[in-house]
Chains A and B, each alone.
Chain A
Amino acid sequence: MIEKIFVGSKKYWFWVFSLMALVGIGLCFYLEQFQYGLGITGMSRDVSWGLYIGQFTFFVGVAASAVMVVLPYYLHNHKAFGRITILGEFLAIASVVVCLLFILVDLGQPARFLNIILYPSPNSVMFWDMIALNGYLFLNLLIGWTNLSAEYKGLSHPAWLKPFIYISIPWAISIHTVTAFIYAGLPGRHFWLTAIMAARFLASAFSSGPALLVLLALIMRRFSKFDPGKEAIFGLSKIITYAMIANVFFLGLELFTCFYSGIPAHCHSFEYLYGGGRLTMIMWLSALLACLSLILLINPKTRNNTGWLTLSCCSVFASLWIEKGFGLVVGGFIPNPLGKITEYWPSLPEVFIALGVWAIGLLILTGLYKIAAEVKSQESNAA
């Protein structure tokens, strides 16, 4: 099957080489960071995690969201998701790789990253996150690849795969829960120290991930012979709607607890994020996009129209990309435990390194989707 990524149209190669160029630029900046230290990023003593870890957090959610197609298809035998499931699984693979790379570029001593396996530390949530993420990567590679090669040969998936599929469902929930625990278990970081963190993470994951999947499915329909099916896309849009409602509701719960109790430490980060700091503009943009997407998604007329659905998926994705991929992580650091405000904004090298990591993710995604599209269209031709 792998040979299918080496044949393609001019457009395909143009796309692949543009991504490779981005990877190359990112790599150059990364070498600079490797040599000089993380001082070339915008991070500081007070804001010690920035764009990299924000993006890591966001893409863990995208990876986990594969469960939103896997669960209906395998547990409820929802046939409409039959063709889109492989896209979900492959999106999960690319996202987990992006997550791991974002962790790697964030490390001050990346050459020692294997220490996390050499000195296992069950007391650290980060250790468990490593296990959860790598396990999830393994599961999706196994399931996605085995399924597709079975289809390639015109067979249905082998029976031994079933247990792995069933395990992958709670595993997906676990990766994002454990990622939330990285934040939610720290004394003195009030913005994150909240029991609803994991639930918020899951809700935002199950809206942003499927939103991306819908956009990808629409792109696939346009640029390849592979059509995941209208029913699957509009089915997903309902999932996005409910998850987005839950997400906004959870944020509301958070706001109520903070501002009705009026405990200063609980309000500070929200006041900083929405009330006049460097991030205020984009945080309000995120809030506006969230409202817009809800209006468009809740109304069945706009939800069932491909054009409007594209717009609402874009706004869901952008809104949560800002809120979770940036605001949530950075906001937790500002103000610092002593009440001082240290602003953060990613530096140029930091942005290029992040672009490079995304490009690697897109390259993997392109390759996997190319294989899936060819195999699937071959199959439908044969039928």
Chain B
Amino acid sequence: MNRREFLKKGGALLVGSVCAYNSPSLLATACELSKKGKKSNLKWGMVIDLNRCLQDCDECIKACRKENNITLHGDKKRDVHLIRKVRLKREYPVNSGEKSVLLLCNHCDNPPCAQACPVQATYKRDDGIVIVDHHRCIGCRYCMISCPYNARYFNYRENSKWSNKNHPKSAHGVPESCDFCNHLLRQGKKLACVASCERIGIKAITFGNLNDPDSEISRLIANNTVKAIREDLGTKPKVYYIGL
């Protein structure tokens, strides 16, 4: 076999094996896409009562950072916040002034980030939580860009602090967003932000199963006027606000 032949045959073999290797997973993805919303009796969601939330309190933000090993580098443009407070201008002149609003990943039922991910590292679980696989992610940041809520952050540098040894800390080069403290949820514990808010007696954040009509969250939604942010985009967010 001469060099030319070797290159030709080798190339063909390589292309062939990549195609053969990929066809089952491509087929699986196609099947997954054609399935319409699997039924699950769990659908996690959150209600934030802005009338209860204290304007200058940041207990939940601190608790979240500690639980999830997020380092603050003092770099405002790049620091990661899984939950954060922003001051939004009120829309109507009657209510002039600003209001501080807690923002986090909305765990959209129709998540643009999961659609954008080129490696399926970001996906929506059957219980509705939108999560990123930090070990598969290639760090292209397309998920951040596709999120209309700016809820995704990127680890532009290593997280130096490792306060909670029960939970891994992320390397640089992968995105970060709220995962409803998935690791605590699995153990039947309360989310860090919810627990901290309850601890100081405010109880502005309620977390629960939206599919259960008797859950506290479902009752809150039924008995109050709730709003989600930018529902017009069709993302179907699952974080609802009272008093927005």
Asked whether, in the complex, the Cβ of A109 is within 8 Å of the Cβ of B174, the reply is yes
Which of B26, B88, B120, B233 contacts A188, CB < 8 Å? B233
Q: Tell me if A122 is interfacial: C-beta within 8 Å of chain B.
A: yes
Which of B75, B86, B138, B235 contacts A116, CB < 8 Å? B138
Closest to A182 in B: B142
Asked whether, in the complex, the Cβ of A186 is within 8 Å of the Cβ of B120, the reply is no
Q: Contacts A44-B78, A126-B140 given: A37-B156 contact, CB under 8 Å?
A: yes
Range of interface residues on chain A? 35 or more
Give the interface centre of A44, A116, A124 by most chain B CB atoms within 10 Å: A124
Chain A residues near B144 (CB, 8 Å)?
45, 48
Smallest Cβ distance from B155 to chain A, in angstroms?
7
Give A360 to B79 CA distance when docked, in angstroms: 33
Which of B29, B86, B116, B136 contacts A122, CB < 8 Å? B29
Smallest Cβ distance from A54 to chain B, in angstroms?
13
Asked whether, in the complex, the Cβ of A108 is within 8 Å of the Cβ of B230, the reply is no
Q: Tell me if B145 is interfacial: C-beta within 8 Å of chain A.
A: yes
Which of B29, B78, B234 contacts A187, CB < 8 Å? B234
Q: Contacts A106-B140, A122-B29, A187-B234 given: A44-B77 contact, CB under 8 Å?
A: yes
Chain A residues near B86 (CB, 8 Å)?
338
Which of A38, A127, A333, A336 contacts B118, CB < 8 Å? A127
Q: Tell me if A123 is interfacial: C-beta within 8 Å of chain B.
A: yes
Asked whether, in the complex, the Cβ of A117 is within 8 Å of the Cβ of B18, the reply is yes
Chain A window 258-272, contacts with chain B (Cβ cutoff 8 Å), 1 for yes, 0 for no: 000000000000000
Interface size on B, residues (CB 8 A): 52
Give A7 to B115 CA distance when docked, in angstroms: 50
Chain B window 27-67, contacts with chain A (Cβ cutoff 8 Å), 1 for yes, 0 for no: 00110010000000000000000000000000000000000
Which of B78, B80, B142 contacts A124, CB < 8 Å? B142
Q: Tell me if A342 is interfacial: C-beta within 8 Å of chain B.
A: yes
Asked whether, in the complex, the Cβ of B136 is within 8 Å of the Cβ of A119, the reply is yes
Partner-A contacts on B (CB < 8 A): 18, 22, 25-26, 29-30, 33, 75, 77-80, 86, 88, 112, 114-121, 136-142, 144-150, 153-158, 171-175, 230, 233-235
A–B Cβ pairs within 8 angstroms, 16 of them = A37-B172, A38-B154, A39-B78, A44-B78, A46-B150, A48-B144, A48-B145, A49-B145, A107-B138, A108-B173, A108-B175, A109-B171, A119-B121, A186-B148, A187-B146, A188-B233
